[in-house]
């Protein structure tokens, strides 16, 4: 299903955030790949505000920014609720793509270091110098093995065709294999922090 952002945003940014609550409630296994931004459920309020400001301006939507940020922050309780499992893979450039300035980014990177310690979370970072076995592409979320969500510039895409879901699962497995975890992932994040501190 292809849903244009202009249509989805008619009710405002807050409503769009809240629409995902039932999906998060029923999902037990989340697999998430992002190539350019920190996944929403891991964002700080300050980082989230900067991302949603851009969306609000670009799509010329209602500016209910504070309420939208609060709704996205509310989604984070799923990280701590029940037996859900979250596997995140992000590209290293996500750590150095600056939204909101140095202090916002430093807070966001500190948040990533903290969330890595949660038993429900696996966070992998694909280093910039890794020899690629799969190309960096669009970000996508896999909800259990039932649904894929992809965001493009003009629309959000929902994929439910089993054959296509299998392709995204294969892509995620390959991307996971290129990522580093634990101490090595913290090293990549700390390098990004050091870089930002010298800006």
- Label residue 16 by pLDDT band (50, 70, 90): confident
Please check whether residue 71 is in contact with residue 18, taking contact to mean a CB–CB distance below 8 angstroms.
yes
Task: Look at residue 33 and tell me whether its pLDDT is greater than 80.
Answer: yes
Give CA–CA dist 57/73, Å, rounded.
21
Task: Look at residue 12 and tell me whether its pLDDT is greater than 80.
Answer: no
Residue-wise pLDDT tens digits, 157-199: 999 999 999 999 999 999 999 999 999 999 999 999 999 998 8
Please check whether residue 28 is in contact with residue 120, taking contact to mean a CB–CB distance below 8 angstroms.
no
Please give the torsion angle defined by the CA atoms of residues 86, 98, 152 and 92, in that order, rounded to the nearest 10 degrees.
-50
Predicted confidence at residue 15, as pLDDT, reads: 81
Predicted confidence at residue 69, as pLDDT, reads: 94
Looking at residues 79-90, what average pLDDT do you find?
96
User: Considering the entire predicted model, what is its pTM?
Assistant: 0.95
Predicted confidence at residue 4, as pLDDT, reads: 86
In the block, tokens 């409630």 appear at 25
Residues composing the chain:
199
Over the chain, what is the mean pLDDT?
A: 94
Where do the domains of the chain lie, and which CATH numbers do they carry? 2-197 (3.30.870)
Residue-wise pLDDT tens digits, 120-153: 999 999 999 999 999 999 999 999 999 999 999 9
Task: Look at residue 2 and tell me whether its pLDDT is greater than 90.
Answer: no
- Label residue 25 by pLDDT band (50, 70, 90): very high
Give CA–CA dist 112/44, Å, rounded.
9
Residue 105 or residue 155, greater confidence: 105
Predicted confidence at residue 3, as pLDDT, reads: 78
Predicted confidence at residue 6, as pLDDT, reads: 74
Predicted confidence at residue 115, as pLDDT, reads: 97
Task: Look at residue 93 and tell me whether its pLDDT is greater than 90.
Answer: yes
Closest CA to 134 of 188, 89, 101: 89
Any residues with CB less than 8 A from the CB of 176 and at least 6 apart, and which? 87, 89, 124
């Amino acid at each position: 299903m292809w849903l244009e952002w202009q249509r989805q945003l008619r009710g405002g940014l807050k409503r769009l955030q809240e629409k995902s609550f039932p999906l998060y409630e029923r999902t037990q296994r989340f697999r998430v790949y992002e190539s350019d931004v920190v996944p929403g459920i891991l964002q700080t309020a300050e980082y989230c505000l900067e991302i949603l400001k851009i969306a609000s301006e670009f799509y010329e939507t209602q500016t209910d920014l504070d309420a939208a940020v609060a709704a996205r922050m509310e989604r984070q309780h799923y990280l701590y609720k029940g037996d859900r499992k979250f596997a995140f893979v992000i590209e290293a450039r996500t750590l150095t793509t600056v939204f909101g300035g140095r202090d916002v980014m430093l807070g966001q990177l500190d948040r990533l270091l903290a969330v890595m310690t949660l038993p429900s979370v696996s966070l992998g970072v694909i280093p910039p110098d890794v020899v690629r076995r799969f190309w960096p592409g669009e970000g996508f979320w896999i909800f259990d093995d039932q649904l894929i969500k992809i965001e493009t510039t003009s629309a959000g895409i929902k994929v439910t065709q089993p054959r296509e879901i299998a392709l995204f699962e294969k892509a995620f497995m390959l991307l996971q294999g290129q990522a580093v975890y634990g101490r090595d992932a913290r090293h990549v994040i700390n390098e990004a922090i050091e870089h930002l501190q010298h800006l």
